[in-house]
């Protein structure tokens, strides 16, 4: 007789900021959160740790104790953009996992950028110039 294996549901969500792209995978577990295989508690900056902790704390206060593991893989851009992209991916993953409208409302009320990506990008350079906007001034004429 075959034994029935229960497959734990896994959800994947992505977040973007500038050229940083984060992919968060969430599954049932003990509450570990890793970013590029490093526990978020070991991030070098206290500010970065707090930014990653925000969506987790809001979920905890809104829905009570939740047990899930989140693994985030982030590539591109700089440290700040990677943290913001990870934060967005984590919040989206928790919403997918819990399917809670109340939590979604709490995220938007706290900070809209927890669920909506910041679409600002670097403006391209203009032809014949070394900058995106202002032209060089001429000293004659």
Q: Is residue 133 part of a domain?
A: no
CA distance 13 to 33: 14
Indicate whether 81 belongs to any domain.
Answer: yes
Task: Write down the pLDDT at residue 127.
Answer: 81
Within the chain, which residues score under 70 in pLDDT?
Answer: 1-6, 141
**CATH classification at residue 83:** 3.30.230.10
On whether residue 138 sits in a domain, the answer given is no
- Domain membership of residue 53 (yes or no) is yes
The three-state secondary structure class of 139 is coil
Using DSSP's 3-state secondary structure scheme, residue 17 falls into strand
Domain annotation covers residue 131:
no
Instruction: Flag whether 141 is in a domain.
Output: no
Helix axis angle, 46-63 relative to 79-98, nearest 10°?
A: 10
41-61 pLDDT, tens digit per residue, is 999 899 999 999 999 999 999
Bridge partners for 38 per DSSP: 35
| Overall number of domains in the chain | 1
Residue 65 has a pLDDT of 84
Residue 26 belongs to some domain of the structure: yes
Note down the domain range covering 104.
Answer: 10-111
> Is residue 127 assigned to a domain?
no
């Amino acid at each position: 007789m075959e034994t029935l294996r229960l497959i734990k549901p896994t959800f994947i969500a992505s977040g973007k900021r500038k050229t940083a792209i984060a992919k968060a995978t969430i599954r049932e577990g003990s509450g570990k959160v890793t970013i590029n295989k490093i526990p978020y508690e070991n991030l070098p900056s206290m500010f970065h740790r707090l930014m990653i902790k925000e969506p987790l704390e809001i979920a905890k206060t809104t829905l009570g104790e939740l047990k899930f593991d989140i693994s985030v893989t982030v590539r591109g851009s700089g440290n700040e953009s990677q943290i913001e992209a990870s934060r967005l991916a984590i919040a989206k993953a928790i919403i997918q996992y819990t399917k809670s409208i109340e939590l979604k409302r709490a995220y938007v009320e706290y900070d809209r950028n927890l669920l909506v990506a910041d679409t600002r990008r670097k403006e391209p350079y203009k032809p014949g110039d070394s900058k995106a906007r202002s032209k060089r001034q001429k000293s004659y004429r």
